[in-house]
Amino acid sequence: MWKWLKVSSIALFCRKALSLFSEAKKDVMYDLLKREDIDWRAFNYQVAKEIHTRHKVSDSALNVFVLDDSIKTRRGKKMEGVSRHFDPASGKPVMGHQVLTLGLATEEVFMPLD
């Protein structure tokens, strides 16, 4: 259908359609993440509960706890809490945040817990 709408890809069409509803840029997302009045841990638990319900995690044959130690590379002049970490994926030191996530993994889904 996107060929008849004369757009080069469906992603381009979606981007144009979403921009009709909001002119928000990435700064809006970062401003939301900086808000201290939001209980992010409670939000994370609500997301985990929804994943648990929708994917029937308790019925899965394989349930394992996973500690994910990821490095999120960051660039910019005014980045708070950024430090140098060795990234084993790239094999070199990078600037960024080191994030530790506890999650429950099954055959189909990874559910972040904390």
pLDDT of residue 16: 57
DSSP 62-104: --EEEEEEEEEE---SS-TT-EEEEETTTTEEEEEEEEEEEEE
Q: What is the pLDDT of residue 57?
A: 81
Q: Is the pLDDT of residue 2 over 50?
A: no
Mean residue pLDDT across the chain = 78
pLDDT digits (tens, 9 = 90+) for 5-45: 555 555 655 555 555 556 666 677 777 778 889 898 888 88
- What is the CB neighbour count within 10 angstroms for residue 106? 19
Q: Is 0.75 surpassed by the pTM of this model?
A: no
**Would you kindly state where each structural domain of the chain is located, as residue ranges?**
39-112
Q: Quick one: tokens of 100? A: 């530790």
